[in-house]
Amino acid sequence: MRVSRYHMPTLKEAPKDAELASHSYLIRGGFIRQLAAGIYDFLPLGVKVLHKVQQIIREEMNRYGGIEVLLPAVQPSELWKESGRWGYYGPELLRLRDRHDREFCVGPTHEEVITDLVRRDVRSYRDLPINLYQIQAKFRDEIKPRGGLLRGREFIMKDAYSFDVDEAAAKENYQLMYKAYTAIFGRCGLDFRVVEADTGNIGGSMSHEFQVVAETGEDYVLNCPACDFTVNQELAPIPEPMAATLPVPLALAEVPTPDQKSVEEVAAFLQVETNQVVKTLICLVDDEPVAVLLRGDHELSDVKLRRALGADQVSLADDATVERVSGAVVGFAGPVGLAEKIPILADLGVQGLGNVVVGANRDAHHLTNANQGRDFKVDRFIDVRTAVDGDHCPNCADGKYSLFRGIEVGHIFYLGTKYSEAMSCTVLGENGKPQPVVMGCYGIGVTRIISAAIEQNHDDRGICWPVPLAPFEVAVLALQMKDEAVVEASESFYAELQARGIDVLFDDRPQRPGFKFADAELIGFPYQIVVGSRGLAEGQIEVKCRRTGEKLDLPVAEVVDYVARQIEQERKGLA
Ligand code: ATP
Ligand code: MG
């Protein structure tokens, strides 16, 4: 491709809302343009990167048994009502009506549509296994679209769905997808970790996330360096603490704590450590109020609470509920006297505590020296606090969690029969009787991969694409288009590299060298071949590696061989 005939409008300034390097460089480099919040046009360079990602995904999905289909973006509400998710999915689901007043949605995911397709065409256990995938635009009306392609409202996903006769076969398919994903992200040149994860509102019982390690990631992940157990922080388990001897109970007393609402304020006011305060969180578990006790310096993981209780939804109660249940304004709820009204759960970390400070269920008051058993009772102790960096690993004897941030680029779920039962997707088994198929589903954020790759590969001048994702692998920069020798040499590099199957861009614009350099650095071509009058007169050409900044002066005759060899090596990515 010649830049003079191409469309790559680069910009000097980043958009005001672009806080992340990937967002800023995608816009400045002329890869994407924003059409509306979280909705983007793909310009030619963006499409080239997208196609490279998609190609890698297709090759690996096909290698591990995936079969490509293409499903509609617009889906009838009836299917969502059958699965039960029409009421459950909430405002992320973009709902619309057609001219006949029938309800539809723009697909945020395709479990319903694919299950419907399969139940119509697949009859017998002999038709299984199958694993169908597609690469297609999804719409989720995200409350906070962020970071350009990182969290869009319209974005491209690869979603796959496997159908099997039984659990064992379904788990085999799951393992195949695990391998496919590992290969895909490796070939994309990403530094990633596989993480035990929550199944969220997709449902199911086993799931892994593929997290790209990045300071700017939204996900917090804990890894134990001793045994390599890696788990999303929101569900990371904590080992049961050793039994502690409780202190001798002192006399319970009510003390005024005017305006002291947070644990820190109360602790400072009463001159105790925050770990001697027990906070009482009034939560709604599937709409029922429940009290959850936590040590003052610990945080609740609502995901762990939801999973521990097998609930669909968990949230902190609204102020009115807190006031109704505790009889005090928010900040003063406590367990003493609460058991008559609602169930009291406590985190494992509360087990060994005595003589603690708790809310008094009275405005502006706390109780000191409250003790379990004597002053309040706990219905159940469960592991519900958020694990943090330095907590003991539950998986091995001597490891401790260490925290990193990640960008979730892929997620695989073992679904079981959740959808097939709800939607009667059955096959005739060997015994001639209908049985529900066993499913798995597997997503990749295709457009999110692009942002994640840039978050991991950039500097203050622009993007440093890994070769497998680069929009062009090599750029030939002709520094003086008025110098015939420069033009001739550049043309021949361009032609020879193309002949060798290398994706090359020829910057043949009449612009000055500084302008071309800046664009090449910003867009991030892995190799630049710099053809300038002076060097050429001495028979030397500069070849620059974008990632390392390394510059080599090579004789004209060696340039193509050298660059072709480098590209060949780096195309393989990390895999
Ligand atoms: P998140 O927690 O980031 O919202 P999710 O759990 O909702 O993700 P899934 O439903 O598992 O995501 O979707 C599969 C994949 O699609 C995710 O792993 C992610 O890479 C990608 N994805 C999800 N939401 C978005 C989005 N708004 N923009 C871009 N990619 C997305
Ligand atoms: Mg989401």
The neighbouring-strand residues paired with 435 are: 427
Q: Which residue lies with its CA nearest to atom 13 of ligand 1? A: 443
Digit-coded pLDDT (tens) for 536-547:
999 999 999 999
| SS3 category, 244 | coil
- Cβ contacts of 115 within 8 Å, gap of 6 or more: 83, 161, 419, 420, 423, 425, 439
Asked if residue 204 lies in contact with residue 192, where contact means CB atoms within 8 angstroms, the answer is: no
Digit-coded pLDDT (tens) for 177-199:
999 999 999 999 999 999 998 76
Task: Look at residue 435 and tell me whether its pLDDT is greater than 80.
Answer: yes
Distances (CA, A) of 287 to 311, 318, 335: 10, 11, 20
Mean pLDDT of 536-561: 97
- In 43-129 the beta strands, taken as DSSP E runs, fall at 67-68, 74-76, 94-97, 103-106
Q: Which residue lies with its CA nearest to atom 24 of ligand 1? A: 151
Predicted local confidence at residue 574, as pLDDT: 44
Ligand nearest to the CA of 410: 1
Ligand nearest to the CA of 407: 1
**Residue 48 corresponds to which tokens in the numbers above?**
């080239």
Ligand nearest to the CA of 303: 1
Contacts for 545-550: CB closer than 8 Å, 24+ residues apart: 546/464, 546/465, 546/520, 546/521, 547/457, 547/464
Mean pLDDT of 464-475: 98
| CA-wise closest residue to 148 among 3, 329, 315, 23 | 23
**Residue 512 corresponds to which tokens in the numbers above?**
């000055």
491 pocket-lining for ligand 1 (C-beta < 6 Å) = no
The ligand 1 atom at the shortest distance from the C-alpha of residue 145 is 27
Edge-to-edge order in the sheet of strand 288-295? 314-316, 278-285, 288-295, 344-347, 380-382
448 pocket-lining for ligand 1 (C-beta < 6 Å) = yes
| CA-wise closest residue to 80 among 110, 36, 118 | 110
Find the 33 Cα to ligand 1 centroid distance in Å: 21
Ligand nearest to the CA of 446: 1
Instruction: List phi, psi (to 5°) of 322.
Output: -60, -45
Q: How does residue 575 score in pLDDT terms, banded at 50, 70 and 90?
A: very low
The proportion of the chain whose per-residue pLDDT surpasses 90, expressed as a percent, equals 93
Q: Which residue lies with its CA nearest to atom 11 of ligand 1? A: 411
Q: Pocket of ligand 1, candidates 448, 449, 450, 451: which has the most ligand atoms within 8 Å of its Cβ, to mutate?
A: 448
Predicted local confidence at residue 306, as pLDDT: 94
140 pocket-lining for ligand 1 (C-beta < 6 Å) = yes
- In 419-510 the beta strands, taken as DSSP E runs, fall at 426-428, 434-436, 438-445, 458-459, 462-463, 474-478, 504-507
Ligand nearest to the CA of 442: 1
- pTM of the predicted structure, to 2 decimals: 0.91
Q: How does residue 154 score in pLDDT terms, banded at 50, 70 and 90?
A: very high
Task: Look at residue 343 and tell me whether its pLDDT is greater than 90.
Answer: yes
**Residue 190 corresponds to which tokens in the numbers above?**
């990403």
Digit-coded pLDDT (tens) for 68-121:
999 999 999 999 999 999 998 999 999 999 999 999 999 999 999 999 999 999
Q: Pocket of ligand 1, candidates 207, 209, 411: which has the most ligand atoms within 8 Å of its Cβ, to mutate?
A: 411
**Cα distance from N-terminal residue to C-terminal residue, the chain:** 29
The rounded distance, in Å, linking the Cα atoms of 462 and 432 is: 62
Mean pLDDT of 395-416: 94
Ligand nearest to the CA of 152: 1
Q: Which residue lies with its CA nearest to atom 30 of ligand 1? A: 445
DSSP conformation letters of 363-408: TTEEEEEE-BTTTB--SEEE--BPP-TTPBPSSSSS-B-EEEEEEE
DSSP conformation letters of 505-520: EEE--S--HHHHHHHH
Asked if residue 53 lies in contact with residue 449, where contact means CB atoms within 8 angstroms, the answer is: yes
109 pocket-lining for ligand 1 (C-beta < 6 Å) = yes
Task: Look at residue 337 and tell me whether its pLDDT is greater than 60.
Answer: yes
Distances (CA, A) of 17 to 143, 145, 389: 16, 11, 31
The ligand 1 atom at the shortest distance from the C-alpha of residue 151 is 28
Q: How does residue 243 score in pLDDT terms, banded at 50, 70 and 90?
A: confident
Asked if residue 145 lies in contact with residue 151, where contact means CB atoms within 8 angstroms, the answer is: yes
Q: Beta-carbon neighbour count of residue 310 at 10 Å?
A: 8
38 pocket-lining for ligand 1 (C-beta < 6 Å) = no
410 pocket-lining for ligand 1 (C-beta < 6 Å) = yes
The proportion of the chain whose per-residue pLDDT surpasses 70, expressed as a percent, equals 98
The ligand 1 atom at the shortest distance from the C-alpha of residue 157 is 16
158 pocket-lining for ligand 1 (C-beta < 6 Å) = no
The rounded distance, in Å, linking the Cα atoms of 12 and 219 is: 31
The ligand 1 atom at the shortest distance from the C-alpha of residue 409 is 20
142 pocket-lining for ligand 1 (C-beta < 6 Å) = yes
Find the 221 Cα to ligand 1 centroid distance in Å: 16
Q: Pocket of ligand 1, candidates 143, 192, 408: which has the most ligand atoms within 8 Å of its Cβ, to mutate?
A: 408
The rounded distance, in Å, linking the Cα atoms of 226 and 394 is: 11
Predicted local confidence at residue 204, as pLDDT: 56
Digit-coded pLDDT (tens) for 359-391:
999 999 999 999 999 999 999 999 999 999 999
| CA-wise closest residue to 470 among 19, 45, 7 | 45
Q: Angle CA(195)–CA(197)–CA(200) in degrees, nearest 5? A: 155
Mean pLDDT of 152-157: 98
The rounded distance, in Å, linking the Cα atoms of 107 and 212 is: 25
The ligand 1 atom at the shortest distance from the C-alpha of residue 444 is 15
The radius of gyration computed from the CA coordinates of the chain, to the nearest angstrom, equals: 29
Q: Which residue lies with its CA nearest to atom 7 of ligand 1? A: 200
Predicted local confidence at residue 340, as pLDDT: 87
Peptide bond into 258 cis (omega under 30): no
157 pocket-lining for ligand 1 (C-beta < 6 Å) = yes
Digit-coded pLDDT (tens) for 12-31:
999 899 999 999 999 999 99
208 pocket-lining for ligand 1 (C-beta < 6 Å) = no
Query: Which amino acid, 122?
Result: V
